[in-house]
């Protein structure tokens, strides 16, 4: 029975049925794994929703891209696109032809054609009646306003002309943490939306942890038998990779058993400068660059790690940190990663400022723990994952919005 349909009681009277939507469409600029936590989170969200309601994804990627194939849910690549705005006329054509198949739409991310283009079709084709929600995924964080002031001016003009309407008319704007919700209020003007806190997350990893760990170590044998601090994510200025290298250098001489593994794509081409800095610090042989990891090798990196390190300057959620918790790995994060209150309150990891000193203090504090204390932190982390960040909870909360 469609949402909002009439059913009949025993006397034949009409009763409005408030059933959940049967099918959701998620739209996103790119579904490429290199895009980081949003694309990974969206993949696991789609897998989690499958048992509750059918899910399809539309993106602006080239339909021939390998990452759009071999999945257990439909993904529609509507590229190729033009320019940084990623415009394609195929987007709105496809939506006009397919929108009525869905009971609700979820827009992931802002500022590109998938966002306002979807809004236009909903308003014109469905006369505004099709319910939709928006996940900004940190794109309203004031960090970007201060870090990139010229770009912010351009975005403010676009916000007034178009983008604020996407959020204003949404059934809900979904923030993954209360911190993201509260800080977003001061970033752009005007702002008017209906907020909801819907945490993102992941699924418990499938597969055999021992086999996955061995697969990772077989590919990177220099890390076998080492105690590994793992950074896993995009190599980007906001992620604090440089802080991890500087802090690790302060520990290296005193702890010869330690290595630092840096895993992830390098879209900003920062690796050469970071490698040069590691050479200057005399630790180049103990910093290992794996490139982007996926599947069993990614999970194997987590299972091989002594701790996960993320000293970001801005992070609205941090899917990789949640993945570490699910794998039983202590997390060392900055207080700019918006899940830090949960980590601190649950004693699932260590939180310090996004500085070299703060990162060093987190690493040192973990190394100073007894094995029993570390085991307790690992257990706390698994509990935090199940209670707060298991993606099936997110899927149900999102369906409840409709």
Are 97 and 63 in the same domain? yes
Q: What local confidence, expressed as pLDDT, does residue 40 receive? A: 87
CATH of the domain at 25: 3.40.50.2000
Are 61 and 190 in the same domain? yes
Q: What local confidence, expressed as pLDDT, does residue 97 receive? A: 96
- Given a contact cutoff of 8 angstroms between Cβ atoms, the answer to whether 340 and 362 are in contact is no
**How many angstroms separate the CA atoms of 355 and 114, rounded?**
36
Domain end among 198, 226, 260: 198
Domain end among 178, 198, 218: 198
Q: Residue 334: beta bridge partners?
A: 352
Backbone angles phi, psi at 181, to 5 degrees: -60, -45
Question: What is the model's pTM?
Answer: 0.89
Domain end among 198, 224, 256: 198
**How many angstroms separate the CA atoms of 51 and 1, rounded?**
17
For residue 367, give both structure tokens: 């190394």
Are 244 and 171 in the same domain? no
| Exposed / middle / buried, residue 44 (Cβ in 10 Å: 0-12, 13-18, 19+) | buried
Candidates 242, 236, 230; CA nearest to 356 is 242
Domain interval for residue 126:
18-198
**How many angstroms separate the CA atoms of 75 and 200, rounded?**
20
- Given a contact cutoff of 8 angstroms between Cβ atoms, the answer to whether 224 and 217 are in contact is yes
Contact partners, residue 399, CB within 8 Å, separation at least 6: 20, 21, 24, 49, 52, 53
Question: Domain tally for the chain?
Answer: 2
**How many angstroms separate the CA atoms of 167 and 209, rounded?**
41
Are 52 and 188 in the same domain? yes
Looking at the domain assignment, is residue 308 inside a domain? Answer: yes
Could you list the mean pLDDT of each consecutive 10-residue stretch along the chain, which spans 402 residues? Answer: 34 39 88 87 85 88 95 94 95 96 95 97 85 96 93 96 97 96 94 94 92 98 98 96 98 97 96 98 98 96 98 95 97 98 97 98 98 97 95 88 86
Are 150 and 230 in the same domain? no
Long-range contact pairs involving 44-49 (C-beta distance under 8 Å, separation at least 24): 44/201, 44/202, 44/203, 44/391, 45/200, 45/391, 45/394, 45/395, 45/398, 46/71, 46/73, 47/72, 47/73, 47/203, 47/391, 48/203, 48/391, 48/392, 48/394, 48/395, 49/24, 49/395, 49/398, 49/399
Q: What local confidence, expressed as pLDDT, does residue 331 receive? A: 98
Looking at the domain assignment, is residue 7 inside a domain? Answer: no
Are 61 and 192 in the same domain? yes
């Amino acid at each position: 029975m469609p949402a909002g349909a009439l059913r009949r009681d025993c006397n034949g009277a009409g009763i409005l049925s408030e059933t959940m939507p049967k099918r959701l469409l998620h739209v996103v600029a790119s579904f490429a794994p290199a895009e980081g936590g949003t694309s990974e989170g969206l993949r696991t969200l789609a897998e989690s929703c499958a048992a509750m309601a059918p899910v399809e994804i539309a993106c602006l990627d080239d339909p021939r891209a390998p990452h759009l194939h071999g999945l257990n849910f439909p993904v529609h690549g509507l590229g190729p696109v033009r320019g940084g705005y990623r415009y394609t006329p195929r987007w709105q054509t496809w939506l006009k032809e397919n929108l009525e198949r869905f009971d609700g739409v979820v827009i992931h991310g802002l500022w590109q054609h998938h966002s306002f283009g979807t809004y236009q079709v909903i308003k014109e084709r469905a006369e505004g009646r099709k319910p939709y929600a928006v996940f900004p995924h940190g794109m309203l964080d004031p960090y970007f306003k201060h870090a990139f002031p010229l770009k912010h001016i351009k975005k403010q003009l676009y916000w007034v002309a178009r983008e604020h309407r996407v959020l204003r008319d949404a059934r809900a704007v979904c923030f993954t943490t209360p911190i993201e919700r509260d800080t977003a209020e001061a970033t752009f003007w005007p702002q008017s939306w209906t907020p909801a806190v819907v945490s993102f997350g992941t699924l418990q990893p499938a597969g055999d942890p021992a086999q996955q760990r061995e697969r990772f170590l077989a590919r990177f044998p220099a890390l076998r038998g080492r105690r590994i601090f793992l950074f896993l994510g995009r190599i980007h200025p906001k992620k604090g990779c440089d802080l991890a290298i500087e802090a690790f250098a302060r520990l290296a001489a005193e702890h010869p058993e330690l290595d630092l593994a840096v895993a992830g794509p390098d879209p900003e081409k920062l690796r050469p400068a970071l490698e040069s800095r590691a050479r200057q610090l005399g630790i180049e042989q103990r910093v290992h660059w794996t490139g982007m990891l996926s599947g069993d090798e990614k999970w194997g990196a987590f299972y091989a790690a002594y701790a996960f390190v993320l000293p970001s300057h801005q992070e609205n959620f941090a899917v990789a940190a949640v993945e570490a918790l699910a794998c039983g790995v202590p997390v060392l994060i900055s207080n700019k990663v918006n899940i830090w209150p949960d980590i601190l309150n649950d004693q699932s990891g260590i939180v310090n400022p996004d500085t070299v000193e703060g990162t060093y203090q987190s690493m040192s504090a973990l190394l100073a723990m007894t094995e029993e204390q570390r085991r307790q932190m690992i257990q706390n982390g698994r509990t935090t994952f199940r209670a707060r960040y298991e993606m099936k909870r997110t899927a149900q909360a999102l369906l409840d919005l409709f």
